[in-house]
Amino acid sequence: MKRNGLTVVAAAGLAALAFTSLLFAQNAKPQGAATKVQAKDFTGVWRRSRRPPDNARQYSTFEIVFSLANQEPPMTPWGMEKYKAAKADAGPRGVSLSETNDPIFKCFPPGVPRIYLARGLPFEMMQDSKKVVMLFEYDHFVRQIFTDGRKHPEDMVPSWMGDSIGKWEGDTLVVDSIGFNDKTWLDQVGHPHSEQLHLVERIRRPSHDALTIDITIDDPKAYTKPWVAHLDYDLKPDWNIGEEVCEDNDNFLGMEKQAESGK
CB 52 within 8 Å of CB 64: yes
Task: Give the tens place of pLDDT for each residue, 254-263.
Answer: 554 454 444 4
Distance CA 43, CA 125 (A): 5
In a structure prediction context, what are the per-residue pLDDT tens digits for the chain, which is 263 residues long? 445 544 434 444 444 444 444 444 444 444 444 444 477 999 999 999 998 888 888 888 888 898 898 789 999 999 999 999 999 988 788 898 889 999 999 999 999 999 999 989 999 999 999 999 999 999 999 999 999 999 999 999 999 999 999 999 999 999 999 999 999 999 999 999 999 999 999 999 999 999 999 999 999 999 999 999 999 999 999 999 999 988 887 555 455 445 444 44
Tell me the β-bridge partners of 59: none
Burial of 89 (0-12, 13-18, 19+ CB in 10 A): buried
Give rounded-to-5 percent helix, strand, coil for the chain.
Answer: 25, 25, 50
Q: State the burial class of residue 214 (Cβ atoms within 10 Å of its Cβ: 0-12, 13-18, 19+).
A: middle
Domains of the chain with bracketed CATH: 8-261 (2.40.128.20)
Indicate whether this model's pTM tops 0.85: no
What is the DSSP code string of 134-190? Answer: EEESGGG-EEEEE-SS----TTPPPBSS-EEEEEEETTEEEEEEE-B-SSS-SSTT-
- 140-159: pLDDT as tens digits: 999 999 999 999 999 999 99
Q: CA–CA separation, 28 vs 15, rounded Å? A: 20
